[in-house]
Amino acid sequence: LRGKIGGVLREEHYNQVAFGRLEPSMSFTNSKAVYLSAQGARNIEMRIVNVPKVKVVVSKIYESNLVAIQRYGYNPGGGARYDDYYYEGGGADATMGDIIYQQEIDTRSLPKRGASRLFNFNITDKLNDYKGIYHIQVRSSEDYWVSDSRFISLSDIGVIAKQGRDKIFVFANSIKSAKPLNNVNVVVYGANNQVLGLGSSNNDGVAEIEYTRKEFAGFTPALVIAKTADDFTYLPFNST
Which of 169, 107, 146 has the alpha carbon at shortest distance from 22? 146
Mean pLDDT within 186-190: 94
Mean pLDDT within 92-117: 83
* Cβ(211)–Cβ(190) below 8 Å: no
Alpha carbon distance 138, 94 (integer Å): 23
The string of pLDDT tens digits covering residues 196-210 is: 999 999 999 999 999
The string of pLDDT tens digits covering residues 6-56 is: 788 777 777 766 666 778 888 888 877 888 888 888 888 888 888 999 999
The pLDDT, as a whole number, for residue 89 is 46
- For residue 88, what pLDDT band results from cuts at 50, 70 and 90? very low
Q: Which of 77-81, 135-139, 176-180, 228-232 has the lowest mean pLDDT?
A: 77-81
Order the strands of the 116-120 sheet from edge to edge.
25-28, 43-49, 116-120, 112-113
The rounded percent of the chain whose pLDDT value lies above 90 is 41
Q: Which amino acid is at 195?
A: V
